[in-house]
Structure 1
Amino acid sequence: MQRTIAALVASFGLLALGAPSPAPAQGASPAIAEDFKPSSLNQPGQDYPQVNSQGYVRFRVTAPQAQSVKATLGLGGQGGTVLHKADDGTWVGTTSGPLDEGFHYYHLEIDGGVFNDPGTRNFYGSTRWESGIEVPAHDADFYALKDVPHGNVQQILFPSPSTGTQKRAFVYTPPGYDANQSARYPVLYLQHGWGEDETAWSTQGHANLIMDNLIAEKKTRPFIIVMTYGMTNVIRPGEPGGLAKFDIKPFQAVLLDELIPYVDSHFRTLADSDHRAMAGLSMGGMETKTITTANPDKFGYVGLFSGGSFSPEDVANAPGFRDEVKLAFVSYGSRELDRRAVAPPGAPSFDPVANHEALKASGFNSVFYVSPNTAHEFLSWRRSLREFAPLLFRD
């Protein structure tokens, strides 16, 4: 597994969850439309940052004594957007191009120090609380807050003898769970990415709203989602070796020996592999692949969102996987696949499209999804969950 992780990191830059994803240039840049509006993620009453109809972002920061201010969100070789000081002591700057639709992390660098933007909300990502901004997506309706029956996201604390602590998870129960005390439900264990935590999928990812809307439209079977912290083997930012040193064993013990039994004993689950799935984004996808190939009797459905793929060799080398697993779902943002066309020198070859086609040709139920015009970012993964959920537990 460590070789697999190292290969993915070297080839595809899976650590860069905080990196902005610019839309590629299409000829000459258009004039910037002056129709900027406050981001939907701004703190109450805050006018900046702002986003315009083209996807440009404009920042305004009050720092009258500062000598330099930069936002790490933006394009170009400067690694962000340099802000310029106005006569009133504020610093203003606009990204040099439009950003991809969806959610982006960023922070401010003021005279060399790292600060969050006081104008917007904070989200845990990149191993720290980061500022966040949302570039409105044309297809945002599938994760919009609508007048439909809503499920519930609750925090649970469960004992973890393997780590000597009480650990936290968030559990989504679908609409009607509390009203119908006789109904039992399948469960999806859904993992976050590197540098994120168990809050990511219900906050940045809007997993609960995606499920509420799919259920209201009768596009998916209602099921429970469990989200917990996957970085049990903590690696500090900047530590040599990084993600390649991640050890799956502590998290696997927490998931299989502690969390799943707790959920099955405290929620009305259908506690068998036919009604249990696991999926994750980026690092969470790599965790998912490792755990499910080693324990195919535990999970009947598997999803990797920008976190590797399944080849015929993977399936052949995992005894029982072909017989036990009913679906292997793999997804990427289209810009991720574009970038993977050129691997760094010495990096191993990796073609998730070819892997999918070969696995499907072998008779295995493999599904591959590409999120249009997105990269390694949450809109790719929101769309992936939307596509994955209706395929689950179709008995």
Structure 2
Amino acid sequence: MMNAAFRPFRLVILLFLPALSWAQTGSDDFRPAASNVLNAEFPKIAADSRVQLRLKAPDATKVQVQGGDGFRKEPLDLVKDADGNWNGTIPSAGPGFHYYWFIVDGVRVNDPGSDAYFGYGRPTSGIEIPVPTEDFFLLKKVPHGQVREQWYHSTVTDKWRRAFVYTPPGYDANPKKRYPVLYLLHGAGENERGWSLQGHVNAILDNLIAEGKAKPMIVVMDNGYATAKGDTPAATNTPNDMMKRAATLEQVYMKDILPTMETAYRIQPGRENRAMAGLSMGGLQTMLIGMNHTELFSHYGFFSGAIFGNMLAEPKTAFNGVFADAKAFNNKVKLLWFGAGSEEKQFVTMATDTRKKLADLGIQSTYYESPGTFHEWHTWRRCFREFAPLLFK
């Protein structure tokens, strides 16, 4: 374990409503979404994944609805009824979780009927579309772990930071047992809540552990944004800004996150018990931080990783030559895992190109492609389901 002063933490348990599912009783059988706020009638979802939306705005002259990948890329015009409600139907939404919002006379607003999640750099409405053929991310009657809220003061940023930490079932009942750890990073525009709230990572792991498919582990989900004390924040999500942010975050991990977490939690020592993975921007950060520190990590996952070509323009010399000796790298790194949704073509290409450059050097890796999904949470839920069972074997 690394030495650091113990930081107090508060315990919270994050609960998730299961996604609605119902028999195919009729295409017009609309029901309120599981992600609605209490007693909200809209939005409603049909068995064929159509979504009815309604916003009461009697004084508005134009209302549209728009959303993230897999929901509604282009704005859809809503129609005003005699009661001042604006109504519309999304023809078919993709499976799983999606962000969306209304545009009221040119102003973006959230849906008061839906819960809000941190996405696109702000609290944003979200909707959970049922997936009748998949329940791996839903709460089941199995032993459950906990998600704890951990605050600590960063020596790099000189600010308080927050992480959410998953501890597996039985963690408190076995005070002498130690566990391997996965450091799991979110994407651009999201924060440390994403993997537990939108990703349901605790339910996925609970189910995998109960089925004997994954080892019990601790998962640290920290914030992917960091600005060194006295610096100006990298305000955009351009490749240069994301790489600048990752360089600062690397220092936060080395000086703050690892020492704090591995003192506050019963984590097994040694690189063989330490993994790092992330989605999109978090995949880029996993590459930039992880490949600079193979002495600390042995398993890596890149879910729709934003791995830009110039990062591996010269693969043999990249990251201080970590890939130069393929045999040594393959012996040291136990898992180099890539995943993407089949419909997010840019990220499929990034993963394919990266794996080819590494394969040409003799570096081994694994790839998974989520069928029919985009740059969205259902892709990353599926990625995590495939990735987690391979850790710490």
TM-score bin (small chain): 0.7 to 0.9
Match of 1:274 in 2: 272
Map 1:180-329 to 2 at 5 A: 180-233=174-227, 234-236=233-235, 239=236, 242-246=238-242, 247=244, 248-308=246-306, 314=315, 317-318=318-319, 319-320=321-322, 322=329, 323-329=331-337
CA apart distance, 1:308 = 4.2
Verify the 8 A CA contact 1:311 1:356 in the aligned structure 2.
no
Q: Would the aligned equivalents of 2:340 and 2:347 in 1 still touch at CA under 8 Å?
A: no
Q: How do 1:25-64 and structure 2 match up within 5 A?
A: 33-64=27-58
Give me the whole-angstrom Cα distance separating, in 1, the residues matched to 2:291 and 2:240. 19
Give CA deviations for 1:232-267 in whole Å, capped at 9, x if unaligned.
14444xx5x745323122111111211101111111
Task: Give the deviation of 1:367 after TM superposition.
Answer: 0.9
* Structure 1 gaps, min length 5: 1-31, 342-349
Partner of 2:165: 171
Are the aligned partners of 2:66 and 2:72 in contact in 1 as well (CA < 8 Å)? no
Aligned residues: 350
The one of 318, 327, 333 equivalent to 2:341 is 333
Matches within 5 A, 1:345-356: 350=349, 352-353=351-352, 355-356=354-355
Quote the residue 1:83 is aligned against. Answer: 78
Letter of the aligned partner of 1:368 in structure 2? Y
2:30–2:46 contact (8 Å) kept in structure 1? yes
**1:250, 1:244 → 2: CA distance?**
13
Which of 73, 91, 112 does residue 67 from structure 2 map onto?
A: 73
Q: Report the TM-score, using the length of structure 1 for normalisation.
A: 0.83
The answer to whether the 8 Å contact 1:293/1:315 transfers is no
Q: Over aligned residues, Cα RMSD in angstroms?
A: 2.4
Alignment of 1:14-29 (within 5 A): none
- Asked whether the equivalents of residues 73 and 81 of structure 1 are also in contact (C-alpha less than 8 Å), the reply is no
What TM-score does the superposition give when structure 2 sets the normalisation length? 0.83
- Partner SS state of residue 262, structure 1: helix
Alpha-carbon displacement from aligned partner over 1:33-59 (angstroms, at most 9, x marks no partner): 312211110001001011112222110
In the alignment, the residues of structure 2 paired with residue 243 and residue 48 of structure 1 have an alpha-carbon distance, to the nearest angstrom, of 38
Identity across aligned pairs (percent)?
40
Does 1:160 pair with 2:161?
A: no
Match of 2:5 in 1: none
